[in-house]
Amino acid sequence: MTSKKVFLLLPDGVGLRNFAYTDFNKVGKAAGFEITYWNNTPFDLASLGFEAIDITKPKTHPLTETYKNARKHVELNLFIKRFEDRTYDSYRFPFSNKTFKQKVKTFLTKRLISKHTTESGHRILVKKITDFESSTFYFRQCLETLKKEQPDFVFCTSQRSILAIAPIQAAKKLGIPTATFIFSWDNLPKATMVVDTDYYVVWSTLMKEELLKYYPDITSDQIVITGTPQFENHFNARLKDSKEDFYNKHRLDLNKRYICYSGDDITTSPNDPHYLKDTAQAVRLLNQKGFNLGIVFRRCPVDFSTRFDTVLKEYQDVIMPIAPLWKKLGTIWDTVLPTQEDMTLQTNTIAHTEFVINLGSSMVFDYACYQKPCVYINYDIPNPSSTWSVQKIYKYIHFRSMPSRDAVVWFNDVTEIEIKIRNILENKLSTTVNANAWFKTINQFPPEKASERIWDFIKNATA
């Protein structure tokens, strides 16, 4: 039987970690597929031994971004109306009016929102975006590539990039089946859907229900539950260093037990340096009482600020920073790319630390893979000039999937930090059972088989 040819579309760098740095390619090859990455990232996939066709200087239609932004706001308006829930307002980004061009875009976007906040108006926006992108030179380039290469299937690694629209529409015009992967557990309530494909690959039954809820034009038989390759690295023994090797490599003290403090970006957690300081003070107090602890600080990979410098200097006896191994190729967050080396670093950081502290991130599931706890920070720093609050974070829709608040440990006040760290280390405070239940809610189990399930789906779709 002739092997099927699959194009893996990487419209941006977010798909690299799931589909290039895992065993996803290896699993597909073993299943008999011919795999080509349709690559719109700066990363050289040939360095991994992969077949790749680079997308050269793609350019969207001048109006696509404006219409896409309007679509997002319209979808959020419709969600609010449909579900009588103002939480969706928190997913909006403020409009910018700094330049004349931005003022024009903002004016046009607001006009489109006001005219199209209906179900039929939403469909008009979606069709307009499709029509715009199907009229571009980029679309014609995609058509030529597909005619020449003749893949049997196009799999888009993320649903949220406007640079994926033209390739997907070109494939549909040629009758090539298409699918997109829903990239993250919190994406659907945020109205991040951009592409229109034949199939939608999701993490869980919960995500399938969300997709049907938010996008009623999508039918149940278009949705495939596979889990995400995001967690497969934790079950890959080839990536694991010994404790001694990891400690020596990163200048850690073999006599200490380490806690991981996982930083957030400045928008999500503007008070992160203060929270890190509070944690370091608690660890110092515990060390004075006979504990021998340290903190591994892993900053958010897209945070290159100096905002932690003062805390790191003041608490260098306690905190050891281990920077993520991402590459900065531009000035905005989506031009900072993950690397294969960082996936190994993150895996070993989790394997060799006791638990993680952060503000509401999915690291809870990474640590659940090791049956280790996660702490969520849940208190505000007094600041009269700030309207930010942790409560904004925990009101996000995706936290409603938590089956029990005991899926994590909560630092509800700075005075709780010392005692709760001590209780975790002395096994008096455990959250792993409920964390695993939450993990099973948001991701198909077993988590290490996601790539196999995705390729099984593609095999059926191309039969």
| Domains of the chain from N-terminus onward | 5-60+136-228+447-461 (3.40.50.2000), 64-132 (no CATH), 238-442 (3.40.50.2000)
- pLDDT for the residue numbered 328: 76
SS (H, E, C) 313-367: HHCCCCEEECCCCCEECCCCHHHEECCHHHHHHHHHHHHCCCCEEECCCCHHHHH
Q: What is the DSSP letter of 1?
A: -
Q: What is the DSSP letter of 413?
A: S
Structure token pair of residue 345: 């670093």
CA distance readout (Å), 95 to 78, 104, 335, 439: 19, 11, 22, 35
Question: 350 near 367, Cβ under 8 Å?
Answer: yes
- pLDDT for the residue numbered 430: 85
List alpha helices for 215-271, DSSP H.
Answer: 243-249
Which strands form 153-156's sheet, in the order they lie side by side? 52-54, 34-39, 5-10, 153-156, 178-181, 199-202, 223-225
Q: How does DSSP assign 152-215, residue by residue?
A: SEEEES-S--GGGHHHHHHHHHTT--EEEE---TTTGGGT------SEEEESSHHHHHHHHHH-
Q: What are the pLDDT tens digits along the chain (463 aa)?
A: 579 999 999 999 999 999 999 999 999 999 999 999 999 999 999 999 999 999 999 999 999 999 999 999 999 999 999 999 999 999 999 999 999 999 999 999 999 999 999 999 999 999 999 999 999 999 999 999 999 999 999 999 999 999 999 999 999 999 999 999 999 999 999 999 999 999 999 999 999 999 999 999 999 999 999 999 999 999 999 999 999 999 999 999 999 999 999 999 998 999 999 999 999 999 999 999 999 999 999 999 988 899 999 999 999 999 999 999 988 765 554 567 889 999 999 999 999 999 999 999 999 999 999 999 999 999 999 876 678 899 999 999 999 999 999 999 999 999 999 999 999 999 988 899 999 999 999 999 999 999 999 999 999 999 9
Q: How many CB atoms lie within 10 A of CB 389?
A: 14
Helix-strand-coil split of the chain, %, nearest 5: 50, 15, 40
| Alpha carbons 441 and 439: distance in angstroms, whole number | 5
Structure token pair of residue 397: 């829709």
| Alpha carbons 369 and 100: distance in angstroms, whole number | 50
SS3 state at 36? strand
- pLDDT for the residue numbered 337: 87
| Alpha carbons 9 and 12: distance in angstroms, whole number | 9
Q: Kindly report the pTM of this predicted structure.
A: 0.95
> Which of 253, 423, 278 lies closest to 355 in space, CA to CA?
423
The label of the residue with tokens 């290159």 reads: 304
Q: How far apart are the first and last CA of the chain?
A: 11
Helices 64-83 and 100-116: crossing angle in degrees, nearest 10, is 40
Query: Hey, what amino acid is at 235?
Result: F
CA distance readout (Å), 10 to 20, 38, 41, 225, 421: 10, 6, 7, 21, 41
> Which of 15, 11, 122 lies closest to 68 in space, CA to CA?
122
- Give the Cα-Cα-Cα angle 73, 84, 183 (nearest 5 degrees): 50
| Alpha carbons 256 and 138: distance in angstroms, whole number | 55
Question: 432 near 399, Cβ under 8 Å?
Answer: no
CA distance readout (Å), 134 to 41, 93, 190, 380, 396: 22, 27, 25, 48, 35
